[in-house]
């Protein structure tokens, strides 16, 4: 049974933690800003194969950086769960009447909100280096797509945090996962430019379809159809929600 009070309390806790940790806010956007500025300005006069010349590299890059921001922010949500377990907070939550499903949804809601805040900050900052924002309806659809991306990777992080009880082990595994996912997603260059064998891995990368959908909405250019991108993201979102709920209940029962 879903208990909305429990979901709200856990969401609010994540918001308070985020607002109070100023270094976390700066650290979360520092790397995306660095890549956006240096790659965007450095390659703006260069014609990258596979990118139409009328689009420009900055326009092409920004949706990829938004995907990167969401990926890293969402995937590391599981690290907070491990810290809560080590400091005893998770045990206190688990002995309350709140259902396991409500606890997972509350954690997911907090992580998704933080990811969207950081991605929105990056979207606004990208205007300073020449990115042209789309219309408000397109931005609204882009936020929905970013939410789907966030849900997928938050639940992957929650699943790992349920299986891995050690903070250092989680950090090592998640780094091993997120960097290849980012590089294979087409965030920095078209997937079509990759060799055939490596391209296969790009096609099984969830972020590939998220970045492609963002480009389709925000700049009107995509390698796949928008309907296919959104359908894949929605299906993976449903699968990962079920997966994280299952492993969380199983892991905390041990």
Q: What is the pLDDT of residues 180-217, one digit of tens each?
A: 899 899 888 888 888 888 889 999 999 999 999 999 99
Domain-by-domain residue ranges, the chain?
A: 4-249
Distance CA 1, CA 73 (A): 28
CB-based contact 35:130 (threshold 8 Å): no
pLDDT in tens, 132-156: 888 999 999 999 999 999 999 999 8
**Closest alpha carbon to 240 in 111, 140, 68:** 111
pTM of the model: 0.89
Which of 211, 214, 222 lies closest to 141 in space, CA to CA?
214
By the 8 A CB rule, do 183 and 167 touch? no
E strand or H helix at 141, and its extent? helix 136-163
Q: Return the axis-axis angle of helices 100-126 and 57-75, rounded to nearest 10°.
A: 150
Taking only the tens place, the pLDDT of each residue in 63-83 is: 999 999 999 888 888 777 777
């Amino acid at each position: 049974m879903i208990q909305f009070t429990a979901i709200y309390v856990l969401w609010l806790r994540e918001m308070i933690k985020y607002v109070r940790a100023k270094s976390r806010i700066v650290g979360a956007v520092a790397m995306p800003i660095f890549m956006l500025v240096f790659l965007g300005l450095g390659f703006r006069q260069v014609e990258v194969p596979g990118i139409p010349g009328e689009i420009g590299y900055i326009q092409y890059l920004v949706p990829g950086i938004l995907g990167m921001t969401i990926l890293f922010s969402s995937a590391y949500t599981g690290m907070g769960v491990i810290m809560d377990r080590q400091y005893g907070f998770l045990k206190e939550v688990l002995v309350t009447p709140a259902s396991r499903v409500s606890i997972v949804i509350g954690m997911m809601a907090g992580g998704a909100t933080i990811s969207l805040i950081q991605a929105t900050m990056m979207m606004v900052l990208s205007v300073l280096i020449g990115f042209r924002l789309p219309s408000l309806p397109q931005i609204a659809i882009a936020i929905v797509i970013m939410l789907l991306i966030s849900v997928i990777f938050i639940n992957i992080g929650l699943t790992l945090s349920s299986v891995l009880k050690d903070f250092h082990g989680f950090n090592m595994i998640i780094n091993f996962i997120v960097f290849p996912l980012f590089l294979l997603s087409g965030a920095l260059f078209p997937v079509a430019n990759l060799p055939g064998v490596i391209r296969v891995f790009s096609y099984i990368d969830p972020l590939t379809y998220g970045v492609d959908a963002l480009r389709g909405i925000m700049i009107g250019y995509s390698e796949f159809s928008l309907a296919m991108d959104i359908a894949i993201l929605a299906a993976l979102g449903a699968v990962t929600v079920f997966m994280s709920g299952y492993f969380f209940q199983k892991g905390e029962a041990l």
